[in-house]
Structure 1
Amino acid sequence: MTGKERLVAIVTGGTRGLGRAIAERLLSDDWTVIVCGRHEPETPVAAGDNVATALVSDVRDPESVALLIAETIARFGRLDLLVNNAGGAPAANIVDSSPRLIEKIIALNLLGPIFVSQAAYPHLRATNGSIVNIGSISGRRASPGTTAYGAAKAGLLSATTSLAMEWGPEVRVNAIVVGLVEDPDQVDHYGGAAAVARIGAGIPLRRMARGADLAATVAWLASSEAGYVSGACVELHGGGEPPAFLHLARD
């Protein structure tokens, strides 16, 4: 983009984990990047000499979201890409989950992306920009132990296709359906390092997804090369998870 006005992206939840990987990839592609979270990042999000602008925002709160978008436009004058990445949930059986916890999970994973998309829409429309929602395979299949999360992610995929239809042709809206991901914080959730290795070996591409895989897919969906892609839910799962009945048959 040398010699041109830089494109501007917001990555929600971009201060850590997969969101940080996405933000770093966009920075390396010479985007101006705003990352937001409920807290300042422990270290700056950067790629080479390009450093992301960090803003504190709670995507579950429409007023906080409005301030995030207003501050972005005040500083940079435009918005070309929104990556709705903020999300997640603790593992918890639904029978043991309080109504408040369920509300928080759905607010973060479904209402938040809708609130931010709604606030960003007029500015994305002005630039013929796009939205990339970070979904999950939990929204495609059963999600035992994270029922509210799976339900919210299923709703996000539905919202993706609906908004693509409502907002075309000015704004493209897509989602990435992320499969199992290598995450040091999730090793215990999967049952330990040995279990993680076995799970990875069971995926057709013989490993879980990495942050760079997701970041590359976001970069493509945001590019002109994907200019005719809208309403798509791109599955990023390395070929998918083998059906449980195969394991049962072998056992």
Structure 2
Amino acid sequence: MDPLDYAGRAVVVTGGTRGIGAAVAGAFRAAGADVLVCARTSPSGMPPGDFFRADVRDPAQAAALVEQAVTRYGRLDVLVNNAGGSPEVPAGTASPRLHAKIIELNLTAPLHVSQAANTVMRVQPTGGVILMIGSVSGTRPSPGTAAYGAAKAGLHHLATSLAAEWAPKVRVNSLVVGPVGDQEQSSGAVSTIGRTVPMGRGATAAEVAGACLLLASPLAGYISGASLAVHGGGEWPAYLADLRDTAYRAEK
């Protein structure tokens, strides 16, 4: 039996209409799963049966999203908490309201959806899996997006806490995602990423999606409370810049 065959399984992806979320949803669909995505605005070109409009910062709407998945598919096997993001703004001048909204979207909202998902998963014979799409911004300084980095740090910790509380029926893990350098990025941005990441490039959204397929599968059946780094080896420390350049020249 193929452990990456998701036929007969139901998946919810928040913020699943574009970017990483769309890639994750597409990967699970390609693997045979029934996938329901949500966002605050309806996308164009997506079949109505694959989309549910919800603002997951609202606990009632988060619960409605999970209820809709169970109504449509009769079960919920995987939740991918992907909705998030932040504008770049200095911490010293950002408004208290903006900081609150960023933390609400990136930390509190995943907790709302996870709570609703757990109520379903814990009574299923097969349990379920919850994945948090985190960020390297939550593991190192995040100037310009301080509230976002703090929220992502909290999200990683939240995953470990929920994993401990909800085991053994529900596994909870986070993905610590680095720069994603897809085609829509300018060549200059990709070049900058290439100089800071050991792999020489940003991840593709499809590569992040592949990590989700792995963590939600039986292949990761004993992995819970873990943070999987999907960051291409991390970042070159600034003080090693000269050594890095020398090493690259030697290899060429």
TM-score (norm 1): 0.90
Please give the secondary structure, in 2, of the residue aligned with 1:134. Answer: strand
Distance 1:250 1:18, change over 3 A: closer
Equivalent residues of 1:32, 1:52 under 8 A apart: no
Correspondence for 2:237: 243
Q: Deviations over 1:193-218 (max 9, x none)?
A: 32431321432211111111100000
Which residue, 80, 98, 103 being the options, matches 2:100?
103
Equivalent residues of 2:177, 2:231 under 8 A apart: yes
Equivalent residues of 2:38, 2:53 under 8 A apart: yes
Measure how far apart 1:52 and its partner are: 6.3
Paired with 1:38 and 1:157, the residues of 2 have a C-alpha distance of: 24
Please give the secondary structure, in 1, of the residue aligned with 2:80. Answer: strand
Distance 1:73 1:193, change over 3 A: same
Q: Deviations over 1:22-54 (max 9, x none)?
A: 000000000000000001122227xxxxx9610
Paired with 1:184 and 1:205, the residues of 2 have a C-alpha distance of: 17
Query: Superposed, which structure 2 residues align to 1:34-183 within 5 Å?
Result: 34-44=36-46, 53-125=50-122, 126=124, 127-183=126-182
Paired with 2:90 and 2:183, the residues of 1 have a C-alpha distance of: 22
Q: Which amino acid in 2 is paired with 1:226?
A: A
Paired with 2:18 and 2:41, the residues of 1 have a C-alpha distance of: 11
Paired with 1:178 and 1:12, the residues of 2 have a C-alpha distance of: 16
The list of structure 1 runs, each at least 4 consecutive aligned residues, that deviate by more than 4 angstroms after superposition, is 248-251
Paired with 2:43 and 2:172, the residues of 1 have a C-alpha distance of: 27
Paired with 2:145 and 2:78, the residues of 1 have a C-alpha distance of: 29
Correspondence for 1:229: 223
Alignment length (residue pairs)? 241
Q: Which amino acid in 2 is paired with 1:220?
A: L
Equivalent residues of 1:8, 1:80 under 8 A apart: yes
Q: CA RMSD in A?
A: 2.3
Q: Which amino acid in 2 is paired with 1:8?
A: A
Correspondence for 1:18: 20
Please give the secondary structure, in 2, of the residue aligned with 1:92. Answer: coil
Stretches of structure 1 that go unaligned for 5 or more consecutive residues are 46-50
Equivalent residues of 2:62, 2:116 under 8 A apart: yes
TM-score (norm 2): 0.89
* Percent pairwise identity: 50
Please give the secondary structure, in 1, of the residue aligned with 2:85. Answer: coil
Paired with 1:52 and 1:203, the residues of 2 have a C-alpha distance of: 39
Paired with 1:42 and 1:109, the residues of 2 have a C-alpha distance of: 25
Distance 1:135 1:52, change over 3 A: farther
Distance 1:75 1:207, change over 3 A: same
